[in-house]
Copies of this chain bind each other. A is one copy, B any other.
């Protein structure tokens, strides 16, 4: 009946597997082979020397080291250490795993379970991969901003609106733009002390990059929320917040998991800003709550 879907917090290997997925597109073929090997069997790889791993993946030592660097470690030695830790974690925490994709003939109960599980996974990965330094910088900029513009189209457009709505609720001046022309028109008005935020999973959505570029060139502080930290949008971003990229299937397109991931980042931004501006945010939140109360019919028992 109701499957047990709790206890999935912080999937052991999630952090690294997610990193591999996020970075895979920016990797070369051989590096991908190495990354895959490492993600699939952290423990096994931890037991290998550079040379061993190079042979196993049919590449060279140099490539292994390059991959380690790309994954954020100073060198192979450190990757290996991290791998050992990961393996130990996996060992201790049982790895349940509903690995199967959602199939066309899955009963609805399974669909619910799998979707919930995958979204939980996405959240854990995102939280693990979020750079709190960058987040802090973005929060600081937002908290002190004269005004804030948020750009996003398609599914990301809704996330952009969500963020703008939230910021408005704590007394900030924020606006979301889905229309690329209006977005650029508005971006021209920004200047130092303003903040512009672009939300795009692929990081290559021209309609979103353009207004961010304009804002950037006019001196605004710019933030990019993207799943591809090496994508074009980051060129014009002072701060980059990375969302996780999870496995996608035909019935669960990327748009779905990227939205979950983006919303978590947006929530973090919101709470961060609310903390920093607590003096003004708290009364503003209360006020907006009050203002909406009369839109609700009296609630029956």
Measured CB to CB, the residues of A under 8 A from B are 2-3, 5-6, 8-10, 12, 25-26, 28, 46-47, 80-82, 84-89, 91-93, 95-96, 102, 104-109, 111-113, 115-117, 119-121, 123-124, 126-128, 130, 132, 135-136, 139, 154-155, 158, 161-162, 165, 202-207, 209, 228, 230-232, 250-253, 256, 259-260, 263-264, 267-268, 271-272, 274-275, 278, 282, 285, 289, 292, 295-301
- Across the A-B interface, give the 8 residue pairs with the lowest CB-CB distance, nearest first: A85-B88, A116-B127, A204-B296, A81-B84, A84-B84, A120-B120, A204-B297, A2-B128
Report the Cα distance A300→B202, complex, angstroms: 11
A119 to B3, CA, bound (A): 18
Choose one: B108, B124, B282; the contact of A139 (CB below 8 Å): B108
One of B5, B87, B104 near A128 (C-beta < 8 A): B5
C-alpha gap A12/B108 in the complex (Å) = 22
- A122 CB to closest chain B CB, in angstroms? 10
- Using known A-B contacts A84-B82, A111-B268, A296-B202, determine if residue A282 contacts B9 with beta carbons closer than 8 Å: no
Can you spell out 28 A-B residue pairs with CB atoms less than 8 angstroms apart?
Answer: A2-B127, A5-B124, A5-B127, A9-B95, A9-B96, A10-B92, A92-B93, A105-B275, A111-B271, A112-B132, A112-B135, A116-B264, A119-B267, A120-B123, A120-B124, A154-B165, A158-B158, A158-B161, A158-B162, A203-B299, A204-B298, A206-B295, A230-B300, A230-B301, A231-B300, A252-B271, A256-B267, A259-B263
> Do residues A274 and B251 form an inter-chain contact, with CB atoms below 8 A?
yes
Shortest C-beta distance, A73 to chain B (Å), equals: 12
Asked if B271 contacts A102 (CB within 8 A), the reply is yes
Shortest Cβ distance from A159 into B: residue: B158
* With A95-B10, A119-B264, A155-B162 as contacts: A113 and B85 at CB distance below 8 Å: no
Q: Are the C-beta atoms of A232 and B12 separated by less than 8 Å?
A: no
- The residue from B81, B106, B204 contacting A275, defined by CB atoms under 8 A apart: B106
Q: Is the interface of A mostly helix, strand, loop or mixed?
A: helix
Report the copy number of this chain in the oligomer.
2
Q: Tell me, in angstroms, the Cα distance from A84 to B268 when the chains sit together.
A: 30
Q: Are B299 and A253 closer than 8 Å at their CB atoms? A: no
State whether B112 touches A119 (Cβ < 8 A). Answer: no
B residues within 8 A CB of A155?
A: 162, 165
| CB–CB B126/A116 < 8 A | yes
Partner of A117, one of B9, B231, B259: B9
The CA-CA distance from A143 to B102 in the complex, in Å, is: 18
Complex CA distance for A256 and B124, rounded to whole angstroms: 17
> In the complex, which residue of chain B has the Cβ closest to the Cβ of A96?
B9
Bound CA span A85–B86, Å: 7
Q: Are A109 and B132 in contact (CB under 8 A)?
A: yes
Interchain CA distance A84-B80 in the complex, whole Å: 9
Residue contact B2 to A275, C-beta cutoff 8 Å = no
Interface pair B113/A282, CB less than 8 Å apart: no
